[in-house]
Amino acid sequence: MSQQELDLFHPQIIGVIGAMEAEIAYLRSIMHNVKTHRFGRDIVIYTGLLFDKDIVLCQSGIGKVNAAIATTLLIEHFTPDCVINTGCAGGVGAGLKVGDVVIGTHIMYHDVDVTPFGYQYGQVPKLPVFFNSNSTLMYVAEQAATVFKTANVVRGLIVSGDSFIHSKEDIARIKKQLPNPQAVEMEAAAIAQTCFEMGKPFVIIRAMSDSAEDDAKVSYDTFLVTASGNSARMVHKMIRAFSEE
């Protein structure tokens, strides 16, 4: 990514989505002039300022449907220039440990199967197999990764489904069907699909809270706040970078 390419992208309104309170708490705490907007039963969107940018921060709720609804509401009501999805995930890539971060180069579902009709596993009919993060946003995310001294930051495939993956058998099944996934979680593909449909550039950032194996719940409960904080600090630095252009 050249400086010339980066200079072409100057978002003023930045949408940020996290599924849970823990995933958005840090960013909300440093925003200014915060206003709260509630939609439906559980979707909350906060608007405010961070540096010189207008931030639209959404707590979507867990799962693909909640994520898609929240992303649509965010885009339709607040017209962000781009969308950043922050949060935690289970690490399934080789060498990933709790606290490490995956920047999703491409995103897909691990629980969609319409292969009898000629589609690839994970592909929604009439849509791409993968939803690709915006190259500029990925570049800025990688530059923001210098905020970490010990966590590894890698690029790769993030896969989504409406299940909390917590066993070696689950991981083996997913890896058998899909090409080298790095992280598994429950919202990213729905957010990516919605942004694709609505023409909004996006990037998915996930910090590892567990290894998606038999002790996943214990690890998740223990490291949720740490992992969510790592992801949110990257987003914070991204917003600062856009403000310094």
Q: 């979507």: which residue's tokens? A: 60
Q: Is the distance from CB of 207 to CB of 231 less than 8 angstroms?
A: yes
Cα gap 94→97, rounded to integer Å: 9
186 annotated to bind ligand: yes
Catalytic annotation present for 23: yes
158 is in an annotated binding site: no
Tell me which of 23, 100, 170, 185 is the catalytic residue.
23
**Is residue 161 annotated as involved in ligand binding?**
no
Q: Is 100 a catalytic residue?
A: no
Catalytic residue among 100, 170, 185, 210: 210
Question: CA distances (Å), 19 to each of 59, 107, 191, 192, 245, in order?
Answer: 5, 17, 11, 14, 29
Q: Is 90 annotated as a binding residue?
A: yes
| Residues with a known catalytic role | 23, 210
Binding site as annotated, residues for substrate: 90, 165, 186-187
